Amino acid sequence: MEHVIVTVELDAEQAWALAQLVKRIGWADCRSLAEDEEQTRLMIQATERVRAALAAAGFAPR
């Protein structure tokens, strides 16, 4: 599987808001937007990767 590196520049307010979103988004949210359960699973995995990257940058809401 090919990996993709995505670089994005956010101000602190945007980073915090995005961290809040990826903390709160769940299966039902993704499932309502996905084509099928496989795509839902991939969405959840991707948001978890974003959440971890934001946490590593100091944006980890409780």
Alpha carbon distance 54, 22 (integer Å): 9
Establish if 46 belongs to a structural domain. yes
**DSSP states of 1-21 as a string?**
-----------HHHHHHHHHH
> Would the pTM of this model clear 0.85, i.e. be above it?
yes
pLDDT > 90: what percent of the chain? 95
Q: What is the pLDDT of residue 62?
A: 86
Establish if 5 belongs to a structural domain. no
Domain with 24, as residue range(s), is 12-56
Establish if 44 belongs to a structural domain. yes
Q: How many domains does the chain have?
A: 1
Q: What is the pLDDT of residue 49?
A: 96
Q: For tokens 């839902």, name the residue.
A: 40
Alpha carbon distance 37, 19 (integer Å): 24
Establish if 17 belongs to a structural domain. yes
Establish if 42 belongs to a structural domain. yes
Establish if 4 belongs to a structural domain. no
